[in-house]
Amino acid sequence: MNILRQAAAYTLGACFVAVANAQEPLSKEITVDKEIIPQEREASRLFLQPQLMLQSIKTKKLNWTDRAVMAPVTPGITVLPPSQYASTIERSTQRGYIDVGYFPTFQLGASAGYRFVDTATSRIGAWMQYNGSQYDRNNLYGIKPTYKDHTLTVGADLHHEFEGIGIISANLGYGLNSLWYPVFGYDGLGDIGIDNAFTQTANRFGIGVNWDSTFGSLDITAGVNYGFFGFSKPYTGWDIKALQNNSFSINAGASYRLSDKSSIGADIKYSSTSFSEHIGMTLTDRYEFKGVPMASNSYGVVDLHPYFLSRGEHYAARLGVELSAQTGATSGVNIGPDVRLDWMPSQQFSLYAQVQAGYVTLNNLGSMMDRNHYINPSIDYLPTRMKGQLEFGFVIGPFSGASFEAWGGIGSYDNANIPILYENGYPVNTADFYLHTLGMYAPMEFKSINYGVAFNYNYRDIMRLRVSYEGAPQEHDSGYLAWQDRAKSDLSASVTVTPIKPLDFTLGYRIRSDRAVMTVRTESAEIFKGYVYSMTDLGNVNSLDFSASYRLNDKLTIWANAENLLGKKWQLTYGVPNIGITGLVGIGYKF
């Protein structure tokens, strides 16, 4: 989950490894200037667990970047598009890696990968990862079930360069997730319990192929991707088959370099996602929400994105337009700007601003479960449309290793998927009847607002310090869309010390305040009218974390993570408590 990256990472296990990634899914966010020669990265240990995201692979030459703002490495795992390898670059002799970590009572992570073919022009490899979590802990109702979450993923990838023609990349992967799914509800007499809880499994498969070629100043790319996601069981009590989801995309793009400092280009892409028979929520004559089976449907979007890129000594600019047309169960045409400007008057100051609108995101089951394992397994998700978004920020420094950052953003969205609880409050037999539905999301108009500041300090290669604060409002129709727990603020500090070259220590502390889920209470028999909104508390994250690693040699590393050392309690999502003190202790070996 994006929200509790550290506190929840080993509690629920990773949400499936990225199918589009290579077997070494490690990277960091960087700014690459055209003078920099890309170097191949060796396999190294996973500190955090990656996610399966079925998206297109885009292979690009690292000519230059339109992002000129210095950014620190974040604790998420992302993967840079693979760069084109030159025959003069020295290749690593280490083709594989194994990482294994364990923590009582049961937290287990194991990852391995190997490149079977590894030449100057070809790479063929495979990888696997297992993450398991099992613990007993009282929830907010005093019930103490056993929470289980197990994930196994395997995949393979291919990369081959045809000299003077282009590069082909292909990948496929399979993921299996099994977890215990609680179902909460009142019995009509004021008592709450876990009714009809069940073990849920989800199967995921993805395959993708991409082609990238360069002819003089012209770069061309094309790709096709397919993904499948299917639950084994529907939501309890609903007479419907398990929900399945198919996703497909095909894309093409071209970029022409007008000079060393400017280029023009355009990308076009068609994406679709389809759902089998699913559930729609409606009101009955007793003023209760009820799930009603609905026919299968599909959503699609065609994107056309022309742009112009320019860069000078003190500026970088991207001037583009987003054109999109929705098809299927939803329809409409959108047009909006895609503009980013960076100004760097000196090496110690940079300022940026970005305006976007018109983008449509298809919400499939895989992307939703990457946010939250406890999504409702019988409901589909409408596409989200970005009506408009503005982001801005600046960086001052570094001065003697110190730098200061500030940023903010505001955006407006249609059909933003917001986690909610439905609550029915009409009298039934003189007793109030309630129904809390776990894993429900409401598509609604939403205003996304966030702002933050950070201080960084690096003392040579010995110490790195970062302190940051980020905030957002908390109304039923406004907040920070990326924060699914609707927090108002996030304060974090971390310091990494390297007393000797092979040894690293990291100590971090995080307070994530006013976390909540929106509760929607029906006060009218007229559907979707007469709602009363409130916030149900999820508890503050108050986590002290520690990690250490020691590289015995170029191949062997021992490491340990300990999280939530204060043993504080909060809910990961409504009704699901965090694990308490957790972590992993393990070894990493490259060969």
pLDDT score recorded for residue 448: 97
Higher pLDDT, 372 or 532: 372
Checking if the pLDDT of 183 tops 50, the result is yes
Q: What domains, with CATH codes, occur in the chain?
A: 96-590 (2.40.170.20)
Q: What is the average pLDDT value for the chain, to the nearest integer?
A: 81
Report the 10 Å Cβ neighbour count for 141.
Answer: 12
pLDDT score recorded for residue 184: 75
> Mind listing the pLDDT tens digit for each residue in 94-112?
899 999 999 988 999 999 9
Checking if the pLDDT of 436 tops 70, the result is no
pLDDT score recorded for residue 439: 80
Looking at 363-372, 398-407, 473-482, which range is the least confident one? 363-372
Average pLDDT over residues 401-411: 96
d(CA 316, CA 352): 9
> Mind listing the pLDDT tens digit for each residue in 17-45?
333 333 333 333 444 443 333 443 333 33
**Whole-prediction pTM value?**
0.80
> Mind listing the pLDDT tens digit for each residue in 532-546?
788 989 999 999 999
pLDDT score recorded for residue 343: 96
pLDDT score recorded for residue 485: 93
- List, as own/partner pairs, every contact residues 334-343 make where C-beta atoms lie below 8 angstroms and the sequence separation is at least 24, other chains included: 334/358, 334/359, 334/360, 334/385, 336/386, 336/388, 338/305, 338/307, 340/66, 340/67, 340/316, 341/315, 341/316, 341/317, 342/66, 342/67, 342/68, 342/69, 342/315, 342/316, 342/317, 343/314, 343/315
Looking at 48-57, 212-221, 418-427, 537-546, which range is the least confident one? 48-57
> Mind listing the pLDDT tens digit for each residue in 477-509?
999 999 999 999 999 999 999 999 899 999 999
